[in-house]
Amino acid sequence: MNFNTRLPLEERLKVIDHIQARRYEKLNGSALDIAAEGIMRHLRACDRMDVNPDVSAVREIIDDALNGRRVFAEAVDSRYAA
């Protein structure tokens, strides 16, 4: 599946899975911020590795955002930087 990285996040989610796109559209406040950041990180990682985004990962990110949890790897960890 070839994803256009210039599409808005909502449109990219519709291409990945329409059910998760509808769940994402219902979010607001801090849950929306947490989900958007987590999904964007997931999509960037998938683009870097040239793999398709994982629907279950997007579902888990949205579930965690609803529970107020930020669960994703940090892009840069200064403790391990060379």
pLDDT given at position 82: 47
pLDDT score of 70: 78
32/7 Cα distance (integer angstroms)? 18
Would you state the structure tokens that stand for residue 3, as one six-digit string? 């994803």
Task: Enter the tokens of residue 37.
Answer: 């950041």
- Rg of the chain taking only CA atoms, in angstroms: 13
Instruction: Supply the DSSP symbol for 54.
Output: P
What is the per-residue pLDDT for 79? Answer: 53
Please name the helix (run of DSSP H) or strand (run of DSSP E) that holds residue 55, with its range, or none: helix 55-66
Q: What's the pLDDT score for residue 73? A: 59
How far is Cα 80 from Cα 69, in angstroms, rounded to an integer? 24
Residue-wise pLDDT tens for the chain (82 aa)?
445 567 888 999 999 999 999 999 999 999 999 999 999 999 999 999 999 999 999 999 999 999 888 766 555 555 544 4
